[in-house]
A and B are shown apart, each in its own frame.
Chain A
Amino acid sequence: MSGVLAPPRGTSVAGVAELEAAARNVREHIVDMCAGQEGGHLGGSMSLVEILVALYFDVMRIDPARPRDPDRDTLLLSKGHGGIGLYAALAERGFFPAAQLAGYGGSGSEFMAHPHPEVPGVEMPTGSLGHGLALGVGSALADRLDRSDRRTFVIMGDGELQEGSVWEAAMAASGHGLDNLTAVIDRNGLQITGRTETVVGLEPLAERWRAFGWSTTEVDGHDLGALTSALREPPEPGRPTMVIARTVKGKGLPFIEGQARSHYARLGERQHRRALAVLRACGTEGGK
């Protein structure tokens, strides 16, 4: 047990307006990284932003000054290709200075496209899809054995649900009654080749998770109020929680929103400037 506890649960660091401001900053960091020499997973990082902000700025018990605090909640980004989104959120939350993000993709940098635990706040390396939920099962089992109220959150992509290992872990989680485990699906509807429903369909998604024994809700994945309220909801005893967050791939950049080709992008100088201008314009309007 740690000597100093992380902030108590339920202590939001911000109101909704502040959360929205954080989300805008996170989006700017993502866009900046995609303007670097390697480019990055733009679309699926932009769709993730509010999910990450809701968790890191409101729902989770974490302390950026003590990223290895034994009493912290755990977040596993199973869709590891959202790595730059995770880095941006961690930087914005204060795990490390945002200036460090400039190293992303560079030689010798710990900021690889897929998250690595060398980066403060990253719990486990991810990137090969279908791993996070099983890791989450182990994390939740450990918390239960410790008689701890720590929570474990796993963020998955929707295309990722085509991996069979997800459903193995889904059965193990409900079969063992892991109500301290919450998963969020970034349901942006797209994978590399196109729409998930035309590649290998996932619907009826909520019914599938319910049938697997998960307490399942669906929310607008860009509505911070809806997300925080769903994620703060006390779990149904004996059942893991699934929050299906309906999102838009490339959210915030109208010229790529909802397009599969936004999956990976290297933004040229002009595109970079345009993207930042669009994000900042939204900021001044107070919109999302």
Chain B
Amino acid sequence: MTTATAPLSSRETYRDVLLELMPADERLVCLDSDTGLFNGADFGTAAERYVNLGIAEHTLMGAAAGLARKGRIPFVNTMAAFASTRALEAVKLDIALNGLPVRIAATHSGVSAGHLGPTHHSLEDLAVMRLLPNMTVVVPADAAATASLLRQSLHLPGPVYLRLGRNATPDLPTDAPPVELGRIQVLRRGDAVTLAACGPYPVHAALAAADQLAAAGIEATVLNVHTVKPLDTATLLTAAEVTGAVVTVEEHWRSGGFGSAVAEALAERSATTVRRIGMPDAFASVSGGHQYQLERAGITARAVVEQAREALGV
């Protein structure tokens, strides 16, 4: 049941949109690896296009490639941790190499699996997926963006990695401009510093940091970078040129992911200072929920403010 006080998680939103799309689009096939996300789901006339392949992530990706080669658009379902590491070779060779339109719905991304521990955290997936030729990498920052980006990505001829969370996260501000696949969403404009964020809590940390900085007279541009690949370098460069520094925030190891993508793009075209905030080079060693893990790792508004001030020298 959806209510204003209990927003859906991005994975539940994804599921509901897929259930809505499938009966009308014969190409769509839902391949499950026994995730449980579809327990009790009503596929209606599309019921035969839901196939649970069991706990077998390599087969999940390979079978998706076989289906896609014959004209289907398979949505494969597994956790981000398993999609990006256990099944990686099948993603690389069977899906990406063939440029097939498989949609990888990767749930429990980042540390959203919280107390489930490091076996179920995925802090390398952006690094891995953005390296693969033909892959589009999408990280919706809230439920509405999940629905919109999912629909927008349907027409893409190649594979899509859709990074989803486990639990509900706060919605973006209602006055945010429409989310557009492949284009950075500018949530706030300022001329002092650019805060570029990827994922639900990082975007909220950046927005909260922008408020705090504004209170001190420092105006920040806040970018919601929901499409990590292909990266909208034009919007990024413009923001970097207008402001004095760029701070990136992500729910991913600091190396190789979103912040690295931004640093790579800017290093070749701009003299802007880039500060990256991400998870430290370590595995989670204690239990704790999603927000606890992020706070412990320093993915917070406070850290964003500190990095921005340090970068600007104010």
A51: interface (CB < 8 Å): no
B56: interface (CB < 8 Å): yes
Among the stretches A9-17, A101-109, A134-142, A201-209, the one at the interface with B is A134-142
7 extra A-B contacts, CB within 8 A, seeds A131-B90, A134-B63, A142-B67? A127-B93, A128-B93, A138-B62, A140-B66, A152-B66, A168-B54, A175-B54
By the criterion CB–CB under 8 Å, are B48 and A145 in contact? yes
By the criterion CB–CB under 8 Å, are A134 and B98 in contact? no
Where the two chains meet, the residues of B that have a C-beta atom closer than 8 Å to any C-beta of A are 29, 48-49, 51, 53-54, 56, 58-59, 61-72, 74, 89-90, 93-94, 97-98
C-alpha gap A130/B61 in the complex (Å): 12
Offer 23 A-B interface pairs, CB within 8 angstroms, sorted by A. A124-B65, A124-B98, A125-B97, A133-B62, A135-B65, A135-B69, A137-B62, A138-B66, A141-B29, A142-B70, A142-B71, A142-B72, A145-B29, A145-B72, A146-B70, A165-B59, A168-B58, A168-B59, A169-B59, A169-B62, A172-B63, A176-B51, A176-B53
Please provide the 8 A-B residue pairs with the shortest distance between their CB atoms, ordered closest to farther. A138-B66, A134-B62, A138-B63, A142-B70, A168-B56, A139-B66, A138-B67, A165-B58
A28: interface (CB < 8 Å): no
Closest to B58 in A: A165
C-alpha gap A171/B29 in the complex (Å): 20
Whether A131 contacts B94 in the complex (CB less than 8 A), given A171-B56, A172-B56, comes out as: yes
By the criterion CB–CB under 8 Å, are B53 and A139 in contact? no
How many chain-A residues does the 8 Å CB contact rule pick out? 29
Residues of A with C-beta under 8 A to B51? 141, 176
Residues of A with C-beta under 8 A to B74? 138
Contact with B along A135-166 (1 / 0, CB 8 A): 11111111101100000100000000000010
Residues of B with C-beta under 8 A to A136? 66
By the criterion CB–CB under 8 Å, are B94 and A124 in contact? yes
User: Closest CB of chain B to A139's CB: distance in Å?
Assistant: 4
Residues of B with C-beta under 8 A to A131? 62, 89-90, 93-94
